[in-house]
Amino acid sequence: MANVSFSGGDKLAKVFANAGKGGIRAVDVGIFASAKYPDGTPVAAVAAWNEFGTDLIQERPAIRIANKENEQVLIKLIARTVDPLTNVITPRIGGLIGASHQGAIQKSIVSLRSPENAESTKEAKGSTNPLIDTGFYKNSITFKVVK
């Protein structure tokens, strides 16, 4: 899972300083170790191969694109929903943050079109979308709120 860092002023700094103090410690979004394809291949491994590329697979950084494109949305969501008295993020708000970023990553996986698949892959899959075949990868993007 890629780490995302934010900048955004004093209020956001207080939120991060208070992480775990009456609110939540983190919201983890991505592919967890339990996600495996039917043949046992870890989905996270396939995601990493696509995200960073290999000798045989071109780099298709859908997760990094989503992290960058959704950064300001998450900052605004945190700023609007943090408890103003305690500067903590409640579990309910953590769920909203997780769902928001889960959706952003899934959207990025679906919308990524470049680099295209090889012609042989397009013919085998019957699709030109490089990261969608069965939808298993996209549907393996989940989140958990860490208390």
For 83-117, how does the pLDDT look when each residue is reduced to its tens digit (9 = 90+)?
777 777 778 888 888 999 999 999 999 998 887 77
Mean pLDDT (the chain, rounded): 83
Q: What does the alpha-carbon distance between residue 145 and residue 132 come to, in Å, rounded to a whole number?
A: 27
DSSP letters spanning 79-109: HHHS-TTT----HHHHHHHHHHHHHHHHHHH
Q: Which of 15, 44, 35, 145 is nearest to 93 (CA)?
A: 145
pLDDT value at residue 30: 93
Q: CB neighbours (10 Å) of residue 69?
A: 13
Whole-model pTM over 0.85: no
What are the boundaries of each domain within the chain? 10-146
pLDDT value at residue 13: 64
Q: What does the alpha-carbon distance between residue 96 and residue 55 come to, in Å, rounded to a whole number?
A: 38
pLDDT at 19 over 60: no
